Amino acid sequence: MVVGGLGGQPEYESRFAALVADMQKLAAGEDVQVQTLSGAQATKTAIKAALDQVAAGARRDDAFVLTLIGHGTWDQLEYKFNIPGPDVTGTELGAWLDRIPARQLVVLATSASGGAIEALKRENRVLVSATRSGMEKNAVVFPRYWVEAFRDANADTDKSGTVSALEAYRYADRKTTDFYKTQQRLATEHAMLEDTGVREAVRAPSPENGQGLLAAGFQVVRFGKIQEALRDPAKQKLLVRKEEIEQAIDKLKYEKAAMPEPEYRKQLSALLIELAQLQEELEQ
């Protein structure tokens, strides 16, 4: 589900609408349903109704992604997403999302979005905000690069044929940082990620700070042969196993510090061999 909020000015109105349209096309796939709300349609009533519909039909093993693109505000107490009519608060959004049993990725690609982190972080939810706090109130460029990660194969850093939420986050954060450096401007936004439900959000997720494991296993887009494999029933089981192995490798990296080095290398080697075999079968 992708929601485009109010722009306030013609430049932002057209930019937000274009990003929503791009996301709708890029996120679509064999097993993906995409719903968009933008402009006058993106009211609080419509957003709640759409999320209620998702909650009624979602299962625990489903994956749900909500992306908000637009302007946000923060009044020292509450984050608000700017839409026609009454704005949606972070608290309201959290309550609606808590009814959805599926694992979730929530992307707040708006100004002041860091002000919603505490209200929205939950177990089994990856939370990405374009800013580190509600005090970063300027218009953000992060959503431009978040959408770009869905079309640029360079976002697939491990060359697995898929882009995870973690890869998309790192891609968009790096591109955003480069934008401000190229423009020789002081950065007014700093993206954050939280996916444990209990820890502090961080700028750079890693095994050291405990953030990023859930995001690493949450696929957002598939490229090339992986997308083609979804059309082949014989390869669908291979794809499921491939995703399981990739998640096991990510989990092992986070557990490395707590195990002997030889045991870590042994387990990692076995997983990498099986992953290579599966990849070869998928490419045939």
Per-residue confidence (pLDDT) for residue 255, from 0 to 100: 82
Per-residue confidence (pLDDT) for residue 45, from 0 to 100: 97
Per-residue confidence (pLDDT) for residue 265, from 0 to 100: 85
Per-residue confidence (pLDDT) for residue 85, from 0 to 100: 96
Query: Within 10 A of 85 (CB to CB), how many other CB atoms are there?
Result: 12
Cα-Cα-Cα-Cα dihedral sign, residues 217, 220, 225, 228: positive
What are the strands, taking DSSP E only, across the chain? 2-4, 36-38, 63-70, 72-74, 79-81, 88-89, 103-110, 125-129, 162-164, 192-194, 219-222
Helix axes 233-255, 261-283, angle to 10 degrees: 160
Per-residue confidence (pLDDT) for residue 232, from 0 to 100: 64
Per-residue confidence (pLDDT) for residue 102, from 0 to 100: 97
- Residues 230 and 31: beta-carbon distance below 8 Å: yes
Per-residue confidence (pLDDT) for residue 9, from 0 to 100: 85
pLDDT single digits (tens) 12-27: 888 899 999 999 988 8
Cα(68)–Cα(38) distance, rounded to whole angstroms? Answer: 10
Parallel, antiparallel, or unpaired for β 63-70 and 162-164?
A: unpaired
Q: How far is CA 95 from the centre of its chain?
A: 19
Cα(215)–Cα(121) distance, rounded to whole angstroms? Answer: 13
Q: Look up the pTM and report it.
A: 0.84
Q: How far is CA 282 from the centre of its chain?
A: 26
Which residues of the chain have a pLDDT value below 70? 224-232, 234-236, 239, 243, 283-284
**DSSP for 10-56?**
HHHHHHHHHHHHHHHHHH-BTTB---EEEGGG--HHHHHHHHHHHHH
Look up residue 23 and give its two tokens: 């996301």
pLDDT single digits (tens) 228-252: 545 567 666 776 787 677 778 777 8
Q: How far is CA 88 from the centre of its chain?
A: 20
> Which architecture, in CATH terms, is 2-225?
3-Layer(aba) Sandwich (3.40)
